[in-house]
Structure formats: C-alpha cells, structure tokens
C-alpha cells in the first residue's frame, strides 16, 4: 500500500539508505586554479555513475549543511585544497534516467586559500586525478559529449551529466568568474 511505501522510505531515509525514486542534492565546486586563473579543477570519475567522465570536485549535501560548508568540506576531502570566497554559481536539474538517478546540483564557486597548493587525489577509488581546464576546453568537451559514442576515443574526456548541463546553460555569473584575472 501507499502507506507501507512511505514507511519503508522513511526507514530507509533514517538508516542513510535511499530508494531509486528520491531526488538527491549534489554540490559541484568550481575552484579557480591559482596558477591559471581562467581554469578550474576537474577530474575523471571512477567506480560510480558517470564512471570515466570529467567532473568537478563535489558530492552530496548532508543534512543541515549549508551549501558553502558542503563545498568547503567536499573540496578538502577530495583534493586537500582549502577554499575561500565560496559563493553560489548556478543550479541544474539533472535527470539521469539511464542510471536511474535524479539530482538537483548546486554549483558553488571558490578560490584557493594558498596560491601555491595543487590538488591531491585523496580519493583515488573515486577519481583518476585532478587537472585544470578552461571554459573553452569544457565547451569542446561538451560538444564531444553530445556526439561521442562508446567507440569514440580521441582522448578528450566526456563531461559528467551535471557539468555538461552547466556548460550548456553557460550562466553569466560563471563566465564572469572564469574571466576574472
């Protein structure tokens, strides 16, 4: 019955598990590369939905966590980078029907506290490593992401769904962030 389904979903929520019909909240973080201020850090996903696609640092928003705190925490956990001036950039509605997932992704923007630090791959089971990319490169990857098939291997990455949508939507605030020197 419908009441049983709601009870099961509530118990799963309490246990930390989710069901396929829940929308999740993700936070992606655009971190400007201090050595190349018109680039942001991204890495290839590993062992998760979107395996092998290029994504920003980020993860799930935790209960009672602010968007800024989530961006700071996820960035530190995944890259070892401390960030500052964290602010809202954009939001996307990401329906990944093939993976049976639906996310609302909040994109935050930030700067490295220390201009000399480089991202470390602190979660090698989730990411192949970090590099920095310009908006132009991300746009080229987006074009390839929309036309590539499984056998297309020219060496350029395919973008993770939420990042692809962000690039396609090209919000003005993000373009201003990336063009600021």
Select from 170, 96, 157, 93 the least CA-distant residue to 127. 157
pTM: 0.85
Average pLDDT, the chain: 89
Question: Residues 150-162: what's their mean pLDDT?
Answer: 77
What is the structure's pLDDT at 115? 93
- Report residue 152 as tokens: 């297309």
What integer pLDDT is reported at residue 98 of this predicted model?
86
- Tell me: pLDDT of 100 over 70: yes
| The pLDDT value given to residue 2 | 56
The CA distance from 21 to 132, in Å, is: 34
Looking at the predicted structure, is the pLDDT value of residue 139 above 90? yes
At 6 the pLDDT is 53
Give me the pLDDT at residue 48, please. Answer: 83
C-alpha to C-alpha distance for 86 and 177, rounded to whole angstroms:
12
pLDDT band at 134 (very low <50, low <70, confident <90, very high): very high
Can you give the three-state secondary structure of the chain, one letter per residue? CHHHHHHHHHHHHHHCCCCCCCCEEEEEEEEEECCEEEEEEEEEECCCCCCCCEECCEEECCCCCCHHHHHHHHHHHHHCCCEEEEEEEEEEEEEEHHHCEEEEEEEEEEEECCCCCCCCCCCCCCEEEEEEEEHHHHHHHHHHHHHCCCCCCCCCCCECHHHHHHHHHCCHHHHHHHHCC
The two three-digit tokens of residue 62, written as one number:
């935790």
152 falls in which pLDDT band (50, 70, 90)? low
Q: How far apart are CA 160 and CA 86, in angstroms?
A: 22
The percent of residues in the chain predicted with pLDDT above 70, rounded, is 85
Q: Which of 45-54, 96-105, 131-140, 144-153 has the highest mean pLDDT?
A: 131-140
Side-chain half-sphere of 94: how many Cα atoms within 13 Å?
28
Q: What is the pLDDT of residue 148?
A: 64
- The tokens describing 117, both together, are 């630090």
From the CB of residue 155, how many other CB atoms can be counted at a distance below 10 Å?
4
């Amino acid at each position: 019955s419908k009441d049983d389904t709601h009870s099961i979903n509530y118990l799963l929520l309490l246990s930390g598990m989710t069901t396929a019909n829940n929308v999740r909240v993700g936070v992606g973080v655009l971190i400007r590369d201090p050595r190349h201020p018109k680039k942001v850090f991204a890495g290839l996903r590993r062992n998760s939905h979107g395996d092998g696609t290029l994504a920003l640092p980020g993860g799930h928003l935790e209960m009672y966590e602010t968007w800024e705190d989530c961006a700071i925490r996820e960035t530190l956990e995944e890259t070892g980078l401390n960030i500052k001036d964290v602010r809202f950039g954009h939001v996307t509605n990401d329906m990944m029907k093939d993976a049976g997932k639906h996310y609302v992704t909040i994109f935050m923007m930030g700067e490295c506290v220390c201009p000399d630090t480089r991202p470390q791959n602190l979660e090698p089971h989730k990411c192949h490593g970090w590099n920095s990319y310009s908006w132009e490169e991300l746009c080229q990857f987006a074009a390839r992401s929309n036309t590539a098939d499984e056998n297309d291997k020219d060496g350029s990455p395919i973008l993770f769904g939420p990042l692809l949508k962000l690039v396609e939507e090209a919000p003005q605030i993000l373009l201003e962030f990336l063009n600021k020197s």
